Amino acid sequence: MTPAPYNSLPGDKLPSARAFWLRTEDGVRLRAGHWQAEPRIGTVLLFNGRTEFLEKYEEVATDLNSAGYDVLSLDWRGQGLSDRLLKDPRPSHVARFADYQRDVVELIIAAQELNLPKPWHLLAHSMGGALGLAALADGLPVATAVFTAPMWGINLHGLPLWAAKALAKGADRLGFGAHPAILSGGYECFILKENYTANPLTQDGLRWCRLLAQTVQWPEIALGGATYHWVGEALEECARLIDLPAPEVPTLVAFSPTDPIISPAAIRARVASWPGAEVMELEGCRHEPMIERNLWRTPFLEAAVAHFDKAIPAAT
């Protein structure tokens, strides 16, 4: 692990994260970050979503630090400051969804090398929810799991699933697989184009402005729409995840029943076959509870920390 940059906006306190580079088995360089708590009662492995980056989770990580939890996260391959996978760095792309699990492996190795306090816990958002469920099925060594708006299905806004899959496969066959898919946002980062009042992520003006400022200040971390190939891979992975046996890990799933990005119906279908999984429906919330108004953010984070805390006596 060698030091990596971690950005701060003007007026921010000194960065609370220590960032470093990792290298995957297939040669991709990843940026990871560690926020250390004091005192320390466990560690949260934070799996973020598509287009996201370490700095976006500064507030969440420091809140978890205040509750006694170290936080370890990374920029997935193809986004943030990790290696981009196309000559044009703007689109969101991956060769195979299974490749993200190579990134998970390096994160776990880093957690071991840093001797992060146990028990470990998973906190996974959106695309990270898909990667987190796949990692749990592969034996991710965590005591509990919390998902927010997990991408166990994608909101296709009326487009039939078969048509979306056919469109993605057709684009691949015609040589357009590395181009941003229709309705995915194009080549440029949607945050720079989206009207605040219509954005699908949050209704908190200050947190939206901070996200916008980060994207403007550090354009190298911004990401555009998902490629046709990424969409095809994501749809296949969502179908696979629905049929997986439910992991035997105490789990909390939080989502908005009107989420415009993922499929609430797919979440309900997955949870229905998951004995003991707790569900927290956040009425009126948008896609990102962790950067939403405190009306939704505070009760969600309190529930997440309480869920993590349940593992402390058993671990002790």
DSSP 27: S
Domains identified in the chain and CATH numbers: 2-315 (3.40.50.1820)
End-to-end CA, the chain: 30
Q: 22 pairs with which residues across the strands?
A: 30
Q: Average pLDDT for residues 141-165, to the nearest whole number?
A: 95
Q: 28 pairs with which residues across the strands?
A: none
Cα–Cα distance, 235 to 215 (Å, whole number) = 27
Q: Given this model, what pLDDT does residue 313 score? A: 67
Q: Given this model, what pLDDT does residue 128 score? A: 98
Does an H or E element contain 281, and which? strand 278-281
Q: Which whole-number Å values give the CA distances from 58 to 53, 163, 214, 256, 270, in the listed order?
A: 10, 39, 12, 23, 30
Residue 314 pLDDT level (bands cut at 50, 70, 90): low
Q: Given this model, what pLDDT does residue 316 score? A: 45
pLDDT, tens only, 156-210:
988 999 999 999 999 999 999 999 997 788 899 999 988 899 999 999 999 999 9
How many CA atoms within 13 Å lie on the side-chain side of 261?
Answer: 23
Coil, strand or helix at 121: strand
Structure-model confidence comparison of residues 149 and 181, the more confident one: 149
Q: Which two tokens stand for residue 136?
A: 């749990």
pLDDT, tens only, 17-53:
999 999 999 999 999 999 999 999 999 999 999 999 9
Cα–Cα distance, 123 to 308 (Å, whole number) = 10
Residue 89 has pLDDT above 50, yes or no: yes
- Which among 100, 271, 90 has a CA at the least distance from the CA of 192? 90
Q: Given this model, what pLDDT does residue 182 score? A: 77
Please state whether beta strands 120-125 and 69-74 pair in parallel, antiparallel, or not at all (unpaired).
unpaired
What percent of the chain shows pLDDT beyond 70? 98
User: What residue type is 46 in one-letter code?
Assistant: L
Q: Which residue has the tokens 């000559």?
A: 87
Residue 12 has pLDDT above 90, yes or no: no
Supply the Cα-derived Rg of the chain in whole angstroms.
18
Q: Which whole-number Å values give the CA distances from 175 to 84, 93, 171, in the listed order?
A: 19, 14, 6
Q: Which residue has the tokens 């609430």?
A: 264
List the single range of 131-135, 156-160, 261-265 with lowest mean pLDDT: 156-160
Cα–Cα distance, 269 to 227 (Å, whole number) = 27
pLDDT, tens only, 200-251:
999 999 999 999 999 999 999 999 999 999 999 999 999 999 999 999 999 9
pLDDT, tens only, 40-86:
999 999 999 999 999 999 999 999 999 999 999 999 999 999 999 99
Whether 45 contacts 64, CB under 8 Å: no
**DSSP string across 135-176:** HHHTT---SEEEEES--SSB--TT--HHHHHHHHHHHHHTT-
User: Rounded to two decimals, what is the model's pTM?
Assistant: 0.96
Cβ partners under 8 Å of residue 61, min gap 6: 16, 17, 35, 46, 71, 73
Q: Which whole-number Å values give the CA distances from 66 to 12, 39, 301, in the listed order?
A: 18, 9, 12
Q: Average pLDDT for residues 135-148, to the nearest whole number?
A: 98
Q: Which two tokens stand for residue 216?
A: 């403007």
What value does the mean pLDDT of the chain take? 95
